[in-house]
């Protein structure tokens, strides 16, 4: 079904793709999101661990503060623990699997020490985990006050679900079809380059020759320019939204 959806959108601009790392911002899965204090803890454990690894390699003793801090996140965490510091005691449950990506949560310490990269990163940041997250998308552009939307919503269609209409298993298109106006008699495939891509508009014509204008023409040009400027300003600043924002009555 996913393939079908992708195929349908083709080239319309409504569906934009978010890079993975940005999408995770919208990911709000309660199971994967640590609760308030644990975020801070996770952060600390990342930051402090760096220190720890930096410290351990030259084989100097760990600062006492770290040792005090280390156990606390592990206790408060109900969500998968995100710290992987090479602690002297092995964690109580080494065979824990992440609910989302089904990978073991903490690998054995010997491996971690060998791969310094994975030590620094909590499990949630790993690529495998990110790929498995269900990503939520930006909400649909549809105006929520529309009567038609209200009707469809009462029958269970969610505008933000990025799904079409239809019986289960036979989902329809999500965006209306778009036509392209053709006003010439160019044949099929003319205007395409060798790869079948549409050739962009022809390059702009060479700049026009410099013209000499008399005073009257200059004045006229200036007037037109001013008019255009005013029109643009009106377009930008006289809109209801801006006026409302500026506190003027609309």
Partner 1 sequence: MVDRRSDSEGGSRAKRQKMEAGDPKDNPYLAHMYEDNHSKADSSSAFAKFKRHQTTAALAKKAEDGDVNPFNGQPFSSKYFSILKARRDLPVHQQRDEFLQLYQQSQILVFVGETGSGKTTQIPQFVLFDDLPQTQRKMVACTQPRRVAAMSVAQRVAEEMDVKLGDEVGYSIRFEDKTSSKTLLKYMTDGMLLREAMNDHNLSRYSTIMLDEAHERTMATDVLMGLLKEVVARRPDLKIIIMSATLDAQKFQRYFLDAPLLAVPGRTHPVEIFYTPEPEQDYVEAAIRTVLQIHATEGEGDILVFLTGEEEIEDAARKIALEGDEMVREADAGPLKVYPLYGSLPPHMQQRIFDPAPPARRPGGRPGRKVIISTNIAETSLTIDGIVYVVDPGFSKQKIYNPRIRVESLLVSPISKASAQQRAGRAGRTRPGKCFRLYTEEAFKKELIEQTYPEILRSNLSSTVLELKKLGIDDLVHFDLMDPPAPETLMRALEELNYLACLDDEGELTQLGRLASDFPLDPVLAVMLISSPEFYCSNEILSITALLSVPNVFVRPASQRKRADEMKALFSHEHGDQLTLLNVYHAFKGAEAQANPKQWCHDHFLSLRSLQSADNVRMQLLRIMEREELDMVSTPFDDKKYYENIRRALCAGFFMQVAKKESQGKSVYTTIKDNQSVLLHPSTVLAHDAEWVLYNEFVLTTKNYIRTVVAIKPEWLLDIAPTYYDVNSFPKGDIRSSLQRAADRLARKEKMRSERR
Instruction: Give the interface with partner 1 as residue ranges (CB under 8 A).
Output: 142, 146-152, 154-157, 159, 164-168, 170-183, 185-192, 196, 238-240, 243, 250
Nearer CB in complex with partner 1: 107/140? 140
- The CA angle 9-11-17, to the nearest 5 degrees, is 75
Contact between residue 119 and residue 85 where contact means Cβ atoms under 8 Å apart: yes
Q: How far is the CB of 231 from partner 1 (least distance, A)?
A: 10
Q: Residue 234 burial (CB < 10 Å; 0-12/13-18/19+)?
A: exposed
Q: How far is the CB of 53 from partner 1 (least distance, A)?
A: 52
Q: How far is the CB of 68 from partner 1 (least distance, A)?
A: 56
Nearer CB in complex with partner 1: 182/208? 182
Nearer CB in complex with partner 1: 210/246? 246
Q: How far is the CB of 78 from partner 1 (least distance, A)?
A: 39
| Residue 91 C-beta-side C-alpha neighbours within 13 Å | 24
Nearer CB in complex with partner 1: 182/212? 182
Q: How far is the CB of 150 from partner 1 (least distance, A)?
A: 8
Nearer CB in complex with partner 1: 10/19? 10
Nearer CB in complex with partner 1: 95/185? 185
Q: How far is the CB of 193 from partner 1 (least distance, A)?
A: 11
């Amino acid at each position: 079904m996913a393939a079908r959806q992708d195929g349908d959108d083709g080239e319309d601009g409504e569906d934009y793709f978010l890079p993975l790392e940005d999408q995770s911002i919208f990911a709000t899965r309660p199971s994967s999101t640590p609760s308030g204090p644990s975020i801070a803890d996770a952060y600390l454990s990342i930051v402090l661990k760096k220190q720890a690894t930096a410290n351990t390699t030259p084989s100097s003793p760990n600062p006492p503060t770290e040792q005090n801090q280390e156990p606390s996140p592990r206790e408060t965490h109900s969500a998968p623990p995100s710290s992987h510091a090479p602690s002297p005691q092995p964690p109580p449950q080494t065979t824990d699997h992440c609910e989302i990506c089904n990978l073991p949560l903490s690998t054995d310490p010997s491996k971690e020490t060998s791969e310094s990269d994975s030590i620094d990163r909590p499990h949630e940041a790993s690529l495998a985990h990110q790929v498995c997250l269900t990503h939520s998308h930006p909400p649909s552009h549809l105006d929520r006050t529309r009567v038609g939307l209200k009707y469809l919503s009462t029958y269970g269609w969610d505008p933000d679900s990025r799904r079409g209409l239809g019986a289960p298993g036979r989902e329809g298109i999500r965006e209306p079809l778009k036509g392209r106006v053709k006003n010439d008699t160019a044949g099929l495939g003319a205007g395409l380059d060798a790869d079948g891509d549409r050739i962009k508009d022809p390059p702009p014509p060479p700049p026009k020759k410099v013209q000499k204008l008399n005073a009257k023409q200059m004045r006229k040009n200036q007037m037109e320019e001013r008019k255009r400027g005013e029109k643009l300003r009106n377009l930008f600043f006289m809109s209801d939204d801006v006026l409302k924002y500026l506190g003027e009555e609309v």
